[in-house]
Amino acid sequence: MLENHLYYFCLNTFADVKQSLADVMKHREIISAKSKVASVLFSYIEPLYLMSQNDSYPLAEHHHQLVRFLDVGILKNFVSQPEDPDTIESIVKQILYIYSATGNLLEGDVYSPEKITQILNGTDAEYEDSTFLYTLGSIMSGRIDAMLYAQSFKGFLTDKGMSEVKMEMDWKNAFIFVSVVHTVWMMFPQLDKPQQDFLLRHYTHAAFASGVPVVSLLKKYYDDTPASLKNSLLQRITQGIVDSSEDIPMDTNILSWEKLSQIAHQYMGKLGGAEPDGFTQEDFLKNYYKNEPNKEWFRDWLRKILTIFFYVREWAK
């Protein structure tokens, strides 16, 4: 069922979470009068609220997409029942995780590259989720050198790591997975070619679902690539989709799967050598997720993948 998979937690919109955070802040005095732990919670909530209101800093798009994983229902319950123990327990966990992943811990410790390697390889069960997430957030922000951690993600960039997408997940595991996906895509320039190619072939759909700005990251990397290597990079990006081994759910209840490569080949066949265009793309997409709940979410993630073909053509001109 959808509720037990990554994609269920990707259905929030940032706009809804932004509004819910604003509602919580609006009722701050009332909540504080009813809840003994409100002052502590607001020390975490307020920075996330301020972050949601600011779209002009470099990591805004990444951070907003992590903030959108806040459960709107929990935020609403916190406004109406701020003293409810279950609501407090849920909001504490989510706020702390997102606060950590966006690099907001004051003077927080970070794990070494060796420790991150062990965590991602599954050989170290002794670690704090918040410190792990803060380390990821620090890599994304540049607070610590991403190059030092590039090889730490080898365990994630494997078939074993990729299989996590199809596993059942609760909110915690989904958010940690999403945070790793954001981080490793941010590190695209620091990865070696085999790692980059693996990322393209196995984590493109999951990245779009997670809110990673894949196109803008690839465009920046393309712009920074020497002229003599630009065409080769565009070929690798295209081939990464065409030869993708990534499994994509074919229904919104996550009951059936299909390789992205099969969909890509069908789309290329429909184009018949012509340049990608919006009309052909939408005509192709209408055959997917017909009459399914949440179909527009799933179609949009697929749409964003197909749009890569358009951008590659545009960049090459």
Task: List the beta bridge partners of residue 258.
Answer: 248
Instruction: Locate 69 and state its tokens.
Output: 């994983």
Query: How far is C-alpha 145 from the chain's CA centre?
Result: 21
Contacts of 105 (CB under 8 A, 6+ apart): 99, 130, 134
Can you give the pLDDT of all 317 residues of the chain as single tens digits? Answer: 678 889 999 999 999 999 999 999 999 999 999 998 999 999 999 999 999 999 999 999 999 999 999 999 999 999 999 999 999 999 999 999 999 999 887 667 899 999 999 999 888 779 999 999 999 999 999 999 999 999 999 888 876 656 667 778 999 999 999 999 999 999 999 999 999 999 999 999 999 999 999 999 999 999 999 999 999 999 999 999 999 999 999 999 888 999 999 999 999 999 998 889 899 999 999 999 998 899 999 999 999 999 999 999 999 98
Report the b/e string of 251-285 with b at 16+ CB within 10 A: bbebeeeeebbebbeebbeebeeeebeeebbeebb
Under 8 Å between Cβ of 52 and 101: no
Model confidence, pTM: 0.94
